Structure 1
Amino acid sequence: MTKTAIILFNLGGPDRPESVEPFLFNLFNDPAIISLPNPFRFLVAKLISRKRAPIAREIYDHLGGGSPLLPNTQAQASALDAALSDIGEVKSFIAMRYWHPMTAETVQAVKAFAPDRIVLLPLYPQYSTTTTASSLRLWNKEAEKAGLSVPTHVIGCYARSSGYIRSVAELVRKAYDGMNGPRRVLFSAHGLPKKVVDKGDPYQWQVERSAEEVVKALNIPDLDWIVCYQSRVGPLEWIGPSTDAEIQRAGNDGVGVIVCPIAFVSEHSETLVEIEMEYRELAEESGVPAFARVPTPGDHPLFIDALAKLVREAVLRPVGVDCGEGTRICPAQFGKCACRQVA
């Protein structure tokens, strides 16, 4: 019987208040986030994490002191294993980038499982150098260090995967139908510094394609919608428009707001606090007549079926990095895209 290890990549989140500062340090010490050479990056990461920790702890206080991301991801892993029970012995492992279970821990667990093949499956539908690429780079480093040498299939992105799109559309539709009067859908994604995109990162382009596909699936005549970006930090220019500005514009226009976290597939501080609490408060202050947050796909059956389909198709292809559609989808100017061209 073939043994398949599926590695679910995600950001990670602090599990208790005392984990917040080391979690932030790990985040800002990632060269994909701050590109300074060491020891400068280490020192800057120490400074930023110490400064931001009190604010972040207040955010996590709203969530009981820690992030719900790991339990959410564990539920997705269990559902995915059940969906793939017919392809042999399947076990999904979780590799978080900035908090436990960290990649090095997961590599050892996978090595003990002794799989015949590995599928690396980022829980980031849209590819970015700051998320998927960073996770892949660390996985390769730790796997080589541990002597884990197994045929490995990599799903680089799945921005237009039908099951993912349909799961999001179903959740948006429920929120849309539950609101009366004029309403606007804000497809909100985590932002990036503009310079990252200018260097060929395909994330923004893929986010926009995901939103377009959800709109097609909704099939609502004359739907009022826009893509926007949240979670800006630091002095750099970020891609836009910002979610804050779009909420304020909706208030000026007198339309309700439905915020869909288009790039997140699990609940965490940016959905449960930033959107649900902070943006809801901003909407009230801005005169928005109605506000709704769309849940993330989580372990929605359509989303789990989409992940299972991606795994089934990936193991039929040669080892390497492919996008979920089997061929590169990004235009040539996005040179940071890792997906190869498949005939």
Structure 2
Amino acid sequence: MKSRFSAQKNSDSSTADEYSSTTAVLLTNLGSPDEPTPSALRRYLREFLSDRRVVEIPRLIWLLILHGIILRIRPAKSAKLYRSIWQENGAPLLTITAAQKDKLATKIKSQYGDQVIVDYAMRYGKPSIASVLQKFQQQGVDKIVVLPLYPQYAGPTTGSTFDALSRELQQWRYVPSIYFLNSYHHNSLYIKALANTIIEHVKVHGKPDKLVLSFHGMPELFRQWGDPYYDFCLQTTSLLKQRLLASDFNSDISFQEADMITTFQSRFGKAQWLQPYTDEILASLPEKGDKHIAILSPAFSSDCLETLEELEHENRAVFMDAGGEQYHYIAALNDRDDHIDALFDVLAPALGSPELK
């Protein structure tokens, strides 16, 4: 079998001066089922919930629960939820990630020309990480920069992405240089983009009684075992508060520290998860006089089931049923230009100076 290295750069016909390296940027996200049907959800959930990073209980016990109970019941329920957010061109997470890739590729091309290619993959479902890496392999890539689109590192997301990357690369004879970017929770442009969405929202809908920053949840045990996700979420919150409270940014809005609350959503099962829980906080706010809220989730780079269904609909019902009057979901950063600028800023140190390309 002809090697990838010799296929791209034939040393018999090239000199060292003619050697031109190719870098690939790989954006990754969690993934979505192929379609909003029970059979597609069963395939997706089987892959997702079989990941040892996602569920860390004794393997045999979990597999019995997964195949004996969960995969018999949950796919139909999840399919119904996915149908409620499904778009004409597919799952929102996939289409938004593709749009992010396209915009980022355009920005990178303007700086680096054709020597940097950009693609995306999903940890679960399609396009798989392995399939896109194999595409890079055929293109003779010498350097791969991997950016999981999870601002705050967590084992079940970012760590699992590294596992999938490693499994594929273990099969390669020639392994290119790898740059794995594991978090950007404190990137200044990411924080600025989040603040921009809040200020833009307030200018249209008015200042809420409370601004709820709802991060995806995680079992409390993961934190006790050393996962830094909780701390990274609090760092993002702290930096975002500083930005919103800054006099040069907040002159017309007048946010105060007490106006903002950090919560955690999407808990599953009976174990204790990171607290406070989003739904419980939302249910308690109206009786305290906080009947107008705005909510966003800084943990999601793209809108998906957990934002478009859970935050936009399920948690709206919780708040309004408790006596709330105004509930506004502030969309994820998605393919906003300021978000693309932030992602480019995160990638730039790994890409190196354009002058060297």
TM-score of the superposed pair, with normalisation by structure 2: 0.84
2:91 to 54, 67, 90: 67
Aligned counterparts, 1:98-177, within 5 A: 98-147=124-173, 149-177=175-203
Identity of counterpart residues, as a percentage?
28
**Shift, 1:39, TM fit:** 4.8
Aligned counterparts, 1:2-151, within 5 A: 2-16=21-35, 17=37, 18-36=39-57, 38-46=59-67, 47-64=69-86, 67-85=91-109, 86-88=111-113, 89-147=115-173, 149-151=175-177
Check if 1:285 corresponds to 2:309. Answer: no
Alignment-derived partner of residue 4 in structure 2: none
Amino acid at match of 2:23: T
RMSD (Å) for aligned C-alpha atoms? 1.8
Check if 1:313 corresponds to 2:349. Answer: yes
CA spacing shift, 1:37–1:112, aligned 2, 3 Å: farther
Q: Is the 8 A contact 1:179 1:290 kept in 2?
A: no
Distance 2:194 2:295 in 1: 12
Q: Which runs of 5+ in 2 are unaligned?
A: 1-19, 246-253
Aligned counterparts, 1:238-249, within 5 A: 238-249=273-284
1:230 to 256, 265, 275: 265
Q: How many residues align?
A: 317
Q: Is the 8 A contact 1:254 1:289 kept in 2?
A: no
Counting helix residues as a fraction of each chain, which structure ranks higher?
Answer: 2
Distance 2:338 2:207 in 1: 29
CA spacing shift, 1:308–1:180, aligned 2, 3 Å: closer
Check if 1:196 corresponds to 2:222. Answer: yes
Q: Is the 8 A contact 1:28 1:49 kept in 2?
A: no
**Shift, 1:316, TM fit:** 4.0
TM-score of the superposed pair, with normalisation by structure 1: 0.87
Aligned counterparts, 1:207-226, within 5 A: 207-219=233-245, 220-223=254-257, 224-226=259-261
Amino acid at match of 2:256: D
Amino acid at match of 2:327: F
Q: Is the 8 A contact 1:175 1:293 kept in 2?
A: no
Residue 280 of structure 2 aligns to a residue whose secondary structure is helix
Amino acid at match of 2:164: L
The structure having more radius of gyration, on CA atoms, is: 2
Amino acid at match of 2:274: I
Residue 7 of structure 1 aligns to a residue whose secondary structure is strand
Amino acid at match of 2:104: L
Distance 2:322 2:122 in 1: 37
